[in-house]
Amino acid sequence: MSTSQTDERRRFHRILFDAPATIESNHLAYQTTLLDISLKGALARTPADWNTQVGEKITLRVRLDDADRVITMQAVCAHIEAGCIGVLCEEIDMASISLLRRLVELNIGDEAVLQRDLEALG
């Protein structure tokens, strides 16, 4: 699938966000780096010892500027390619969605795009 086809299929605006993250899978925790994030998922670097398959349940934890602010998503591994893991969010708690919404809001800079993304969640 070409990049333009993928972009057209996406319903949520992605923002570049380089941050430390942890992916928990099969009772193991993998340290990684987040590359981008949206209200419905994320893209992270694949850890060297990664052994989770596409479709498996994972937990993504993104540490923000301090240890007290963490976005936690219950998710599924959507794809693994080119050294990256695509994460599709299936469940997120209220504190995490509030942090994520604010992060997206600050980085999009376009109220109409943010509202469209929020409506797509409903």
pTM: 0.81
Which pLDDT value is given to residue 114?
A: 63
Q: Domain 3-121, CATH 2.40.10.220 — does that match?
A: yes
- Does the pLDDT value for residue 119 go beyond 80? no
Which pLDDT value is given to residue 94?
A: 94
* Helix or strand run (H / E) with residue 59: strand 57-63
Which residue's structure tokens are 């992916």?
A: 23
pLDDT tens for each residue of 38-85: 988 999 999 888 989 999 999 999 998 766 889 999 999 999 999 999
pLDDT tens for each residue of 11-31: 567 888 889 999 999 899 999
Domain ranges of the chain: 3-121
